[in-house]
Amino acid sequence: MHPDVAVALRIDSTQNVIDRVLARELELGVVGAERPHRSLEYEPFLADEVVLAVPAKHAFAGRTITLDELRSAPMIWQQEGSGVRALMERELRAAGVRVRELDIVAELGLQESAKTAVEEGLGITFTSRASIAREVALGVLGEARVEGLRVRRDYVLVRPAAREPSRLAETFLTFCRTELHRLEGAEPLP
């Protein structure tokens, strides 16, 4: 629609995206967790849920498991700074589970590397439901829930508070919201 516009997409941890917005290296970012800062403005973007990604034929696939089953399963944990990690540490603590009680067999970078490790059968991981939708549909991965945990995760836009968004950024966001609305299962936020 706009052949003279080039969009650069970089996937990084929540903290790195926020740091780059603060440094004004990025006009906007999309992150999975807000980190309050007086120089930043957050805006709801996309509703999602955190689920357990498991190999497709895993005993947990399609089930709701107990906290004890979770404690005994080999777990792939995401890197420090990950929005999913911060959210799940908080949710598990509230449910009475300490991270050190989990059988963490690997700590990996981003969602994609954790997802690949699960596909290879190295363990299970908490991740965004939207991030595994394709693999679940293809039968490569399965998903499970944990009893007592219903973790909604909203992706939010982050941008400098004192800077009005450019017309280009607003056009891009309008395009994104329109496309998200078109996609099955995506729930764009106003």
Encode pLDDT of 116-160 as tens digits: 999 999 999 999 888 898 999 999 999 999 999 988 888 899 999
In percent, the amount of the chain with pLDDT more than 70 equals 96
Which residues, including other chains, have CB under 8 Å from residue 120's CB and lie 6 or more apart?
A: none
Q: How far apart are CA 112 and CA 115, in angstroms?
A: 5
Domains of the chain, start order: 14-47+153-188 (3.40.190.10), 48-152 (3.40.190.10)
pLDDT tens string 162-174: 888 888 888 888 8
